[in-house]
Amino acid sequence: MHGRSCYPGPRQRPIRGAGNCASNPHNPQLTTNPTTHPTQGRGELRDQPPQPAANDQPDNPSERPPVTTAPTIPGFTHLRTGVADNVTLTASVGGTGTPVVLLHGFPQTHLMWRHVAPALAAEHTVICPDLRGYGASDKPADPDGTTYSKRTMAADVVALARALGHERFALVGHDRGALVAFRAALDHPDAVTHLASLDVLPTLDMWDVLHGTSAAIGFHLYLMAQPPGLPEQLIGASPDAFFGHFLDVWTRDEAAMPPEVRAAYLAASRAAVPSIVADYRASAGIDVVHDRADREAGNRLRMPVTVLQQDWGTALGFDAAALWSAWAPDLRHTTVSCGHFMAEEAPDEVTKAVRDLLTR
Protein backbone atom coordinates (compact mmCIF):
# COMPACT_ATOMS: atom_id res chain seq x y z
CA MET A 1 0.00 0.00 0.00
CA HIS A 2 2.35 2.72 1.08
CA GLY A 3 5.17 1.91 -1.24
CA ARG A 4 4.47 -1.81 -1.41
CA SER A 5 2.72 -4.51 -3.28
CA CYS A 6 0.06 -6.66 -1.69
CA TYR A 7 -0.65 -9.24 -4.35
CA PRO A 8 -1.15 -12.77 -2.96
CA GLY A 9 1.77 -15.16 -3.16
CA PRO A 10 4.64 -12.95 -4.40
CA ARG A 11 7.27 -14.91 -6.28
CA GLN A 12 10.15 -15.56 -3.90
CA ARG A 13 13.65 -15.84 -5.32
CA PRO A 14 17.18 -15.18 -4.12
CA ILE A 15 18.25 -11.56 -4.03
CA ARG A 16 20.22 -10.88 -7.17
CA GLY A 17 23.56 -9.14 -7.20
CA ALA A 18 23.60 -5.46 -7.98
CA GLY A 19 25.29 -6.20 -11.27
CA ASN A 20 27.91 -4.25 -13.17
CA CYS A 21 26.75 -2.27 -16.18
CA ALA A 22 30.17 -2.20 -17.75
CA SER A 23 30.59 -5.98 -17.70
CA ASN A 24 27.00 -6.94 -18.52
CA PRO A 25 26.77 -8.14 -22.14
CA HIS A 26 23.04 -7.26 -22.18
CA ASN A 27 23.59 -3.70 -20.97
CA PRO A 28 22.22 -1.08 -23.43
CA GLN A 29 24.76 1.31 -24.92
CA LEU A 30 25.28 4.22 -22.54
CA THR A 31 26.14 7.72 -23.65
CA THR A 32 27.11 10.91 -21.86
CA ASN A 33 25.36 13.06 -24.46
CA PRO A 34 21.57 12.93 -23.91
CA THR A 35 19.62 14.59 -26.71
CA THR A 36 17.01 17.27 -26.03
CA HIS A 37 14.47 15.66 -28.35
CA PRO A 38 11.98 13.15 -26.93
CA THR A 39 12.52 9.56 -28.01
CA GLN A 40 9.42 7.71 -29.14
CA GLY A 41 8.80 4.25 -27.69
CA ARG A 42 11.35 2.37 -25.63
CA GLY A 43 14.83 3.74 -26.14
CA GLU A 44 18.26 3.00 -24.77
CA LEU A 45 19.33 4.02 -21.31
CA ARG A 46 21.70 6.95 -21.33
CA ASP A 47 24.22 8.20 -18.87
CA GLN A 48 24.94 11.65 -17.46
CA PRO A 49 28.11 13.19 -16.07
CA PRO A 50 28.87 12.68 -12.32
CA GLN A 51 26.79 14.54 -9.71
CA PRO A 52 28.04 16.59 -6.76
CA ALA A 53 27.05 15.73 -3.19
CA ALA A 54 23.28 15.73 -2.74
CA ASN A 55 23.22 18.71 -0.41
CA ASP A 56 25.79 20.85 -2.25
CA GLN A 57 23.82 23.91 -3.34
CA PRO A 58 25.02 25.71 -6.48
CA ASP A 59 24.99 29.50 -6.51
CA ASN A 60 22.06 29.52 -8.94
CA PRO A 61 20.51 26.04 -8.85
CA SER A 62 17.36 26.70 -10.86
CA GLU A 63 17.33 24.77 -14.13
CA ARG A 64 21.04 23.97 -14.01
CA PRO A 65 22.08 20.65 -15.60
CA PRO A 66 22.65 17.96 -12.97
CA VAL A 67 25.59 15.64 -12.96
CA THR A 68 25.03 11.96 -12.26
CA THR A 69 26.43 8.65 -13.41
CA ALA A 70 23.07 6.86 -13.20
CA PRO A 71 21.29 5.94 -16.45
CA THR A 72 18.30 8.12 -17.20
CA ILE A 73 15.42 8.54 -19.66
CA PRO A 74 16.69 8.69 -23.24
CA GLY A 75 16.01 11.81 -25.24
CA PHE A 76 15.04 13.96 -22.26
CA THR A 77 16.69 17.12 -20.98
CA HIS A 78 18.01 16.89 -17.42
CA LEU A 79 17.58 19.85 -15.09
CA ARG A 80 18.29 20.91 -11.51
CA THR A 81 15.57 23.26 -10.30
CA GLY A 82 15.23 24.98 -6.93
CA VAL A 83 11.81 24.34 -5.39
CA ALA A 84 12.20 25.41 -1.74
CA ASP A 85 14.78 26.96 0.57
CA ASN A 86 17.97 24.93 0.12
CA VAL A 87 16.12 22.16 -1.76
CA THR A 88 16.74 21.44 -5.43
CA LEU A 89 15.11 18.67 -7.44
CA THR A 90 16.62 16.85 -10.40
CA ALA A 91 14.15 16.22 -13.22
CA SER A 92 14.10 14.82 -16.73
CA VAL A 93 11.88 16.76 -19.15
CA GLY A 94 10.83 15.96 -22.71
CA GLY A 95 8.13 16.50 -25.31
CA THR A 96 5.79 19.39 -26.04
CA GLY A 97 2.14 19.97 -25.28
CA THR A 98 -0.02 19.99 -22.17
CA PRO A 99 2.12 19.06 -19.14
CA VAL A 100 2.11 15.73 -17.33
CA VAL A 101 4.22 15.16 -14.20
CA LEU A 102 5.26 11.58 -13.37
CA LEU A 103 6.31 10.74 -9.79
CA HIS A 104 8.29 7.58 -9.00
CA GLY A 105 7.97 5.18 -6.09
CA PHE A 106 10.14 3.13 -3.70
CA PRO A 107 12.88 2.01 -3.98
CA GLN A 108 13.25 3.73 -7.31
CA THR A 109 13.97 7.00 -9.15
CA HIS A 110 12.54 8.79 -12.19
CA LEU A 111 14.15 6.01 -14.25
CA MET A 112 11.06 3.85 -13.65
CA TRP A 113 9.26 5.99 -16.27
CA ARG A 114 11.81 5.21 -19.03
CA HIS A 115 9.13 3.51 -21.19
CA VAL A 116 6.02 5.51 -20.33
CA ALA A 117 7.56 8.99 -20.44
CA PRO A 118 8.87 8.88 -24.04
CA ALA A 119 5.52 7.50 -25.22
CA LEU A 120 3.57 10.31 -23.54
CA ALA A 121 6.09 12.88 -24.81
CA ALA A 122 4.65 12.39 -28.31
CA GLU A 123 1.70 14.56 -27.23
CA HIS A 124 2.70 16.18 -23.93
CA THR A 125 5.43 17.94 -22.05
CA VAL A 126 6.51 15.24 -19.60
CA ILE A 127 8.30 16.10 -16.35
CA CYS A 128 9.88 13.27 -14.33
CA PRO A 129 11.54 14.44 -11.10
CA ASP A 130 13.39 12.51 -8.47
CA LEU A 131 11.38 13.20 -5.33
CA ARG A 132 12.92 15.09 -2.42
CA GLY A 133 15.09 12.57 -0.60
CA TYR A 134 15.49 10.22 -3.57
CA GLY A 135 17.83 9.76 -6.51
CA ALA A 136 19.81 12.84 -7.53
CA SER A 137 17.49 15.31 -5.76
CA ASP A 138 18.48 16.95 -2.48
CA LYS A 139 18.10 15.07 0.79
CA PRO A 140 17.65 17.62 3.59
CA ALA A 141 17.81 16.55 7.22
CA ASP A 142 14.50 15.98 9.02
CA PRO A 143 14.79 17.54 12.49
CA ASP A 144 11.07 17.71 13.30
CA GLY A 145 9.30 14.99 11.28
CA THR A 146 7.81 17.37 8.69
CA THR A 147 10.58 17.68 6.09
CA TYR A 148 9.24 14.64 4.23
CA SER A 149 5.55 15.14 4.84
CA LYS A 150 3.58 14.53 1.66
CA ARG A 151 2.36 18.12 1.97
CA THR A 152 5.94 19.38 1.77
CA MET A 153 6.86 17.00 -1.05
CA ALA A 154 3.69 17.95 -2.95
CA ALA A 155 4.62 21.62 -2.66
CA ASP A 156 7.98 20.72 -4.24
CA VAL A 157 6.18 19.26 -7.25
CA VAL A 158 3.91 22.27 -7.72
CA ALA A 159 6.92 24.59 -7.42
CA LEU A 160 8.86 22.54 -9.97
CA ALA A 161 6.05 22.66 -12.52
CA ARG A 162 5.64 26.41 -11.96
CA ALA A 163 9.38 27.00 -12.37
CA LEU A 164 9.17 25.22 -15.72
CA GLY A 165 6.27 27.45 -16.79
CA HIS A 166 3.24 25.28 -15.95
CA GLU A 167 0.56 26.54 -13.56
CA ARG A 168 -1.70 23.56 -14.28
CA PHE A 169 -0.70 19.98 -15.03
CA ALA A 170 -1.83 16.36 -14.90
CA LEU A 171 -0.20 14.26 -12.20
CA VAL A 172 0.65 10.55 -12.22
CA GLY A 173 2.20 8.85 -9.21
CA HIS A 174 3.37 5.35 -8.39
CA ASP A 175 3.79 4.03 -4.86
CA ARG A 176 5.38 6.80 -2.72
CA GLY A 177 4.95 9.18 -5.62
CA ALA A 178 1.25 8.35 -5.69
CA LEU A 179 0.94 9.48 -2.07
CA VAL A 180 2.67 12.75 -2.95
CA ALA A 181 0.33 13.11 -5.93
CA PHE A 182 -2.73 12.43 -3.74
CA ARG A 183 -1.68 15.18 -1.32
CA ALA A 184 -0.88 17.58 -4.17
CA ALA A 185 -4.34 17.03 -5.63
CA LEU A 186 -6.01 17.75 -2.27
CA ASP A 187 -3.85 20.76 -1.43
CA HIS A 188 -3.61 22.25 -4.93
CA PRO A 189 -6.83 21.40 -6.81
CA ASP A 190 -6.45 24.46 -9.04
CA ALA A 191 -3.06 23.21 -10.21
CA VAL A 192 -3.74 19.47 -10.67
CA THR A 193 -6.08 18.85 -13.60
CA HIS A 194 -6.08 15.03 -13.58
CA LEU A 195 -4.76 12.43 -11.13
CA ALA A 196 -3.58 8.87 -11.74
CA SER A 197 -2.53 6.66 -8.82
CA LEU A 198 -0.64 3.41 -9.33
CA ASP A 199 -0.81 0.66 -6.69
CA VAL A 200 -1.43 2.45 -3.40
CA LEU A 201 -4.26 3.20 -1.03
CA PRO A 202 -4.56 6.60 0.64
CA THR A 203 -2.62 6.72 3.90
CA LEU A 204 -5.53 6.40 6.33
CA ASP A 205 -7.04 3.50 4.41
CA MET A 206 -3.68 1.75 4.19
CA TRP A 207 -3.26 1.71 7.97
CA ASP A 208 -6.90 0.67 8.45
CA VAL A 209 -6.64 -2.46 6.27
CA LEU A 210 -3.41 -3.73 7.83
CA HIS A 211 -4.25 -5.82 10.88
CA GLY A 212 -3.42 -9.14 12.46
CA THR A 213 -0.86 -11.47 10.93
CA SER A 214 -1.66 -10.26 7.40
CA ALA A 215 0.06 -6.97 8.29
CA ALA A 216 3.39 -8.82 8.20
CA ILE A 217 3.45 -8.23 4.45
CA GLY A 218 3.99 -4.55 5.26
CA PHE A 219 6.76 -5.10 7.79
CA HIS A 220 8.84 -2.29 6.30
CA LEU A 221 6.09 0.22 7.06
CA TYR A 222 6.30 -0.56 10.77
CA LEU A 223 10.09 -0.72 10.77
CA MET A 224 10.49 2.73 9.20
CA ALA A 225 7.76 4.21 11.40
CA GLN A 226 10.01 3.80 14.45
CA PRO A 227 11.79 6.82 16.00
CA PRO A 228 15.03 7.95 14.33
CA GLY A 229 18.07 5.80 14.92
CA LEU A 230 17.30 2.10 14.85
CA PRO A 231 15.64 1.86 11.39
CA GLU A 232 18.46 3.80 9.76
CA GLN A 233 21.07 1.66 11.52
CA LEU A 234 19.44 -1.64 10.57
CA ILE A 235 18.82 -0.73 6.94
CA GLY A 236 22.17 1.00 6.56
CA ALA A 237 23.97 -2.14 7.73
CA SER A 238 22.82 -4.05 4.62
CA PRO A 239 21.05 -1.64 2.25
CA ASP A 240 21.33 -3.75 -0.90
CA ALA A 241 19.73 -6.72 0.83
CA PHE A 242 16.91 -4.54 2.19
CA PHE A 243 16.08 -2.58 -0.95
CA GLY A 244 16.85 -5.52 -3.24
CA HIS A 245 14.28 -7.61 -1.37
CA PHE A 246 11.47 -5.33 -2.54
CA LEU A 247 12.79 -5.06 -6.08
CA ASP A 248 12.77 -8.84 -6.28
CA VAL A 249 9.59 -9.97 -4.52
CA TRP A 250 7.42 -7.16 -5.91
CA THR A 251 8.42 -8.00 -9.51
CA ARG A 252 6.50 -10.60 -11.48
CA ASP A 253 8.41 -10.18 -14.76
CA GLU A 254 12.11 -10.20 -13.91
CA ALA A 255 13.04 -9.16 -17.46
CA ALA A 256 11.22 -5.84 -16.91
CA MET A 257 14.01 -4.73 -14.57
CA PRO A 258 17.37 -5.44 -16.24
CA PRO A 259 20.54 -5.61 -14.15
CA GLU A 260 21.76 -2.08 -14.93
CA VAL A 261 18.41 -0.60 -13.90
CA ARG A 262 18.29 -2.65 -10.71
CA ALA A 263 21.85 -1.58 -9.94
CA ALA A 264 20.90 2.08 -10.43
CA TYR A 265 17.97 1.74 -8.01
CA LEU A 266 20.16 0.07 -5.40
CA ALA A 267 22.89 2.71 -5.71
CA ALA A 268 20.38 5.54 -5.37
CA SER A 269 18.64 3.95 -2.37
CA ARG A 270 21.90 3.04 -0.68
CA ALA A 271 22.84 6.74 -0.73
CA ALA A 272 19.46 7.85 0.65
CA VAL A 273 18.70 5.65 3.67
CA PRO A 274 17.96 8.48 6.16
CA SER A 275 15.70 10.40 3.79
CA ILE A 276 13.82 7.31 2.59
CA VAL A 277 13.17 6.32 6.21
CA ALA A 278 12.04 9.88 6.96
CA ASP A 279 9.58 9.70 4.07
CA TYR A 280 8.05 6.51 5.45
CA ARG A 281 8.13 7.78 9.03
CA ALA A 282 6.07 10.80 7.97
CA SER A 283 3.36 8.45 6.72
CA ALA A 284 2.93 7.12 10.24
CA GLY A 285 2.89 10.63 11.72
CA ILE A 286 2.26 13.99 10.11
CA ASP A 287 0.70 12.53 6.95
CA VAL A 288 -1.95 10.80 9.05
CA VAL A 289 -2.74 14.12 10.74
CA HIS A 290 -3.14 15.88 7.38
CA ASP A 291 -5.25 13.14 5.79
CA ARG A 292 -7.48 12.80 8.82
CA ALA A 293 -8.13 16.55 8.80
CA ASP A 294 -9.21 16.34 5.15
CA ARG A 295 -11.45 13.35 5.79
CA GLU A 296 -13.14 15.06 8.74
CA ALA A 297 -13.61 18.24 6.70
CA GLY A 298 -15.16 16.25 3.84
CA ASN A 299 -12.48 17.31 1.37
CA ARG A 300 -12.43 15.20 -1.79
CA LEU A 301 -10.51 15.06 -5.03
CA ARG A 302 -12.14 17.45 -7.49
CA MET A 303 -10.47 16.24 -10.67
CA PRO A 304 -10.92 13.04 -12.73
CA VAL A 305 -9.04 10.20 -11.03
CA THR A 306 -7.74 6.91 -12.42
CA VAL A 307 -6.43 4.18 -10.12
CA LEU A 308 -4.56 1.06 -11.25
CA GLN A 309 -4.01 -1.57 -8.57
CA GLN A 310 -3.19 -5.19 -8.03
CA ASP A 311 -5.87 -7.31 -6.42
CA TRP A 312 -5.00 -6.60 -2.80
CA GLY A 313 -8.58 -6.90 -1.63
CA THR A 314 -8.70 -10.63 -2.25
CA ALA A 315 -5.55 -11.13 -0.16
CA LEU A 316 -6.39 -8.77 2.70
CA GLY A 317 -10.17 -8.61 2.64
CA PHE A 318 -11.14 -5.11 1.54
CA ASP A 319 -12.72 -3.34 -1.42
CA ALA A 320 -10.08 -1.03 -2.89
CA ALA A 321 -12.47 0.63 -5.33
CA ALA A 322 -14.89 1.48 -2.53
CA LEU A 323 -12.11 2.96 -0.41
CA TRP A 324 -10.93 5.13 -3.30
CA SER A 325 -14.49 6.18 -4.16
CA ALA A 326 -14.80 7.83 -0.75
CA TRP A 327 -12.06 10.24 -1.82
CA ALA A 328 -12.70 10.50 -5.57
CA PRO A 329 -16.23 11.06 -6.94
CA ASP A 330 -15.01 10.93 -10.57
CA LEU A 331 -13.12 7.62 -10.32
CA ARG A 332 -12.13 4.87 -12.72
CA HIS A 333 -10.60 1.97 -10.82
CA THR A 334 -8.92 -0.91 -12.64
CA THR A 335 -7.40 -4.10 -11.24
CA VAL A 336 -4.27 -5.17 -13.13
CA SER A 337 -2.55 -8.54 -13.45
CA CYS A 338 1.06 -7.35 -13.56
CA GLY A 339 3.36 -6.87 -10.56
CA HIS A 340 3.83 -3.77 -8.44
CA PHE A 341 6.30 -2.11 -10.83
CA MET A 342 3.62 -1.77 -13.48
CA ALA A 343 5.19 1.11 -15.43
CA GLU A 344 8.05 -1.28 -16.21
CA GLU A 345 6.13 -4.54 -16.47
CA ALA A 346 3.11 -3.18 -18.38
CA PRO A 347 4.11 0.22 -19.79
CA ASP A 348 1.63 0.10 -22.66
CA GLU A 349 -1.25 -0.49 -20.25
CA VAL A 350 -0.12 2.36 -18.02
CA THR A 351 0.39 4.72 -20.97
CA LYS A 352 -3.08 3.94 -22.31
CA ALA A 353 -4.66 4.52 -18.90
CA VAL A 354 -2.98 7.94 -18.63
CA ARG A 355 -4.02 8.91 -22.14
CA ASP A 356 -7.61 7.86 -21.44
CA LEU A 357 -7.58 9.86 -18.20
CA LEU A 358 -6.47 13.00 -20.03
CA THR A 359 -9.53 12.83 -22.30
CA ARG A 360 -11.95 13.11 -19.37
Catalytic residue IDs? 175, 340
Residue type, 257: M
DSSP alpha helices (H): ranges in 253-333?
259-270, 273-282, 286-297, 312-316, 320-325
Cβ neighbours of residue 238 closer than 8 Å, sequence gap 6 or more: none
Cβ neighbours of residue 223 closer than 8 Å, sequence gap 6 or more: 231, 234, 235
CA distance 110 to 344: 12
The partner residues of 334 in beta bridges, in order of sequence, read 308
CA distance 353 to 121: 15
Q: Does residue 219 contact residue 189 with C-beta atoms inside 8 Å? A: no
Q: Does residue 86 contact residue 98 with C-beta atoms inside 8 Å? A: no
Exposure of 31 by Cβ count < 10 A (0-12 exposed, 13-18 middle, 19+ buried)?
middle
Q: Does residue 51 contact residue 69 with C-beta atoms inside 8 Å? A: yes
Q: Does residue 353 contact residue 331 with C-beta atoms inside 8 Å? A: no
Residue type, 209: V
3-state secondary structure of 155: helix
3-state secondary structure of 56: coil
Nearest to 136 by CA among 62, 50, 239: 50
Residue type, 282: A
Q: Does residue 247 contact residue 258 with C-beta atoms inside 8 Å? A: no
In a 13 Å sphere around the CA of 194, the CA atoms on its Cβ side amount to: 19
Cis peptide before 25 (omega within 30 of 0): no
CA distance 331 to 225: 30
